[in-house]
Amino acid sequence: MKFGILLDHQYPREDDIGRRTGELVEYAQHVRDLGYDSLFGIHHYLSSLRTPQPLSLLSRLIDHTGTMQIGTGILILPLGHPVHWAEEIATIDQMSGGRFVLGIGSGYREDEFASFGINRTKRVSRMNESLSVMQQLWSGEEVRHHGQHFELDGVRCSVLPVQQPGPPVWVGANGPIGIKRIAGQGLPWLAPSNVRRNWAVGNLLDYRQHLRDAGHDEVGMTFPIHRDLCVADSAEEAFRIAEGPAKKSYGEYVQYGMDYFDSQWDGIKEKALWFGSPDDIAAKVEDFAAAGYNHFVFRAQWLGLPIEKSLEIVERFAREVMPRFRS
């Protein structure tokens, strides 16, 4: 069983990014020393919040993360060119000594695609072709590719990743069609945070069946999921500490057409947020682990929550919950 942390590096526009980056360095060091297995960054462009770019931020954190995996959760792959992504990711994999995990997704925000001049309806095919081109480039061989979106004529990647044939790839998807496609590719599906228990468990069962149907062996595979986490003396105390900041963070999605984070908040908060006592959280981990999830990536940062509170949350989980799942 592995446990990781998702950095929520989104800040009000008046914030000092230099100071916030310093906080994240301390946070990463603390997470490392507590025995977490991984650390991930998020990706958006043109956000309503100040959002430092993940590859640059993770590069800053490499020397502060020990042996933890570092990665993107997720990188919006269709918004870039595969040559650019391949060399950037190979570079950070080299710098980290082969610890990078490439979490990818197709994206959803209209303004991002419009600003890049990319047809949003082609985002999935562009993502899949990008990944294919990147994997070809990481072979170190000469690549000739003539696809729907990209043309390469006898080129080689100038930097290759330490991990061969390339860094692990996790793919995010929020619907059954995407989940089935990911299973067909034999790649790990990264389950989202803001979903109810039955949805997350049921779709994992379907995904694993699709894997078998496609002839893929799931032995040794990673089954990751994002969850929002607040550990306190009780569920009531956890919600008192973090519900306001969590609601504020999710409220940012309303402007992108996800108004249910406002209108259905009471249902979402009870079923999707892992807020509670150590025993409450351990029971949730055990339940999801029984369904097959084996890499939990927790967010313990939200808009307006002091970093000291986030540190307390990750420390309490590490001290009072994590040992129950370490063999």
Per-residue pLDDT for the chain (327 aa), expressed as one digit of tens each? 999 999 999 999 999 999 999 999 999 999 999 999 999 999 999 999 999 999 999 999 999 999 999 999 999 999 999 999 999 999 999 999 999 999 999 999 999 999 999 999 999 999 999 999 999 999 999 999 999 999 999 999 999 999 999 999 999 999 999 999 999 999 999 999 989 999 999 999 999 999 999 999 999 999 999 999 999 999 999 999 999 999 999 999 888 888 888 888 888 888 889 999 999 999 999 999 999 999 999 999 999 999 999 999 999 999 999 999 987
Q: What's the DSSP call for residue 311?
A: H
243 occurs within a structural domain: no
173 occurs within a structural domain: yes
Query: What residues make up the domain containing 87?
Result: 2-229+281-325
257 occurs within a structural domain: no
Contacts of 152 (CB under 8 A, 6+ apart): 83, 133, 143, 144, 145
Farthest CA pair distance, the chain: 61
Q: Smallest Cα–Cα separation from 309: which of 246, 223, 225, 218?
A: 246
272 occurs within a structural domain: no
Confidence at residue 255, expressed as pLDDT on a 0 to 100 scale: 87
CATH value at residue 285? 3.20.20.30
Instruction: Please answer whether residues 137 and 165 qualify as being in contact, where contact means their C-beta atoms are separated by less than 8 angstroms.
Output: no
Return phi, psi of residue 40, to 5°.
-125, 150
| Nearest-5° Cα angle at 30, 302 to 323 | 95
262 occurs within a structural domain: no
CA gap 168, 244 in Å, rounded: 35
147 occurs within a structural domain: yes
Contacts of 258 (CB under 8 A, 6+ apart): none
Record the tokens describing residue 96, joined without a space.
Answer: 């980290």
Record the tokens describing residue 59, joined without a space.
Answer: 């590069």
237 occurs within a structural domain: no
End-to-end CA distance of the chain: 9
Question: Phi-psi category of 213—alpha, beta or left, where left has phi over 0 and alpha has psi -120 to 50?
Answer: alpha
183 occurs within a structural domain: yes
Angle between helices 82-95 and 123-137 (to 10 degrees): 50
Instruction: Please answer whether residues 72 and 41 qualify as being in contact, where contact means their C-beta atoms are separated by less than 8 angstroms.
Output: yes
